Structure 1
Amino acid sequence: MAPAESKTLTARPLTREAFAPFGDVLDIGGDPPKPMNGDRALRYHALAEAQVSGSDARVIVSIAVSKPVSGLVEIAMVERHPLGSQVFMPLDDGGLLVVVCPDEGGRPGRPEAFIAIWGQGVNYRANVWHGVLAPIERQQSYLIVDRDGPGVNLEEHVFEAPWFVRVS
């Protein structure tokens, strides 16, 4: 079944300016790096700030391996994490479909879609509606920095009718 035209999104390039309402773009194209380790490495410092709230909350680092998407991608649901931010930084070469929605009275509004290129990751701010991991065309691994601890830190929303994004 072909998607309704009003429910089809066009993904645009991921830029710091376009993504600013939802979080941070992690890449090395911003401020100049700082030398470290006796000038053997360059540090791209403070690309994002992890947010956590709640009693006994902590920042954790994880790795996820995700199945790829291609062609016309169905966006049936989005999620958000009210108690903390969430970083996804690719560990492999490849693109990532990034879907976010503005909040409209506690529900996700019209989705926006971005294509992250090699070397870009994202930091979703706390309480930002976003899609699930969607590497483009091949399986990829991601470094995740997010919150762990007590409290309900996951809300999911299933759209009445799915949205579609063409990625290739």
Structure 2
Amino acid sequence: MFREPSQWSLPWMDRVLPRIVDLCSTQPSRLVFTRFIPARRPGAGQGTWKRYYERWADMTLERLGPGKVDLVPELRAFTPPAPVVDKPVYSPWLGSNLRTLLAQRRCDTVIVTGGETDMCVLSTVLGAADYGLRTIVVQDAVCSASDESHDAMIGLFSNRYGQHIETATTEQLVHCWIGG
């Protein structure tokens, strides 16, 4: 739903996807994917989510079809063994087993890629910081529908949240991992 033409298409998705695949290929045993699952039908959800899905009625499962929420094929190739954590809201920390899954893996660091920088990525990053996890945003492997918001978020992560959130490039991370 984010790659193919839709109301939620991310124009930069094809530009950042190869970088995400590079990172996944470097550390495949450490992957966990999160996947946003929209409401089943228009107007479903609690509180403001009900209004949200009235506004975005065409982005509900009923109208999209369940196949539109799958990971893109390039990332689906890593599952299994990589688990996929489904989430009904921006945050993967609410209503999912992500925190338990990471604790079982003795994970103290999360490296965040994907979309959208100013929505799901933001919620993921702030939740990880709240849990005290070392949090790294891969600035050239995240994207948004809004370049202005994306740029503002990267600046916010780097500057305002500098004690909790780090930013790095794909090249910097791969270099660290392979010891190049």
Structure number with the higher strand fraction is 1
Global fold match (TM > 0.5)? no
TM-score bucket (shorter structure): under 0.3
TM normalised by structure 1 equals 0.26
Instruction: Answer 1 or 2: higher relative contact order, Cα 8 Å, separation at least 6.
Output: 1
TM normalised by structure 2 equals 0.25
